[in-house]
């Protein structure tokens, strides 16, 4: 099933999507912070190695994609004068 464009969603569907994206974004940002802290601690204890950077880099990519979706839904919510 193809996902609807944001402009084609009803107000209720858009608000539901906003809640889902907002919580997903918050979880990935929290995960990113934990991953960076974990990497820093491991680098101090065991020395910096390239393999330590895989996890934060992967989570950063996911966070960027979610951030783009977050901003597009936020923009559509503002265009419809719906509360965040």
Residue written as tokens 């910096």?
A: 48
Give residues with Cβ within 8 angstroms of 51, minimum separation 6.
Answer: none
What local confidence, expressed as pLDDT, does residue 84 receive? 62
Q: For the whole model, what pTM was predicted?
A: 0.71
What local confidence, expressed as pLDDT, does residue 3 receive? 60
Question: Quick check: 2 pLDDT over 60?
Answer: no
Question: Quick check: 1 pLDDT over 50?
Answer: no
């Amino acid at each position: 099933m193809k996902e609807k464009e944001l402009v084609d969603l009803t107000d209720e569907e858009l608000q539901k999507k906003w809640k889902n994206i907002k919580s997903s974004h918050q979880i990935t940002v929290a995960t990113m912070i934990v991953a960076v802290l974990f990497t820093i601690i491991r680098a101090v204890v065991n020395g910096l190695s390239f393999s330590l950077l895989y996890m934060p880099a992967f989570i950063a990519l996911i966070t960027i994609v979610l951030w783009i979706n977050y901003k597009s839904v936020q923009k559509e919510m503002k265009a419809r004068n719906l509360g965040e």
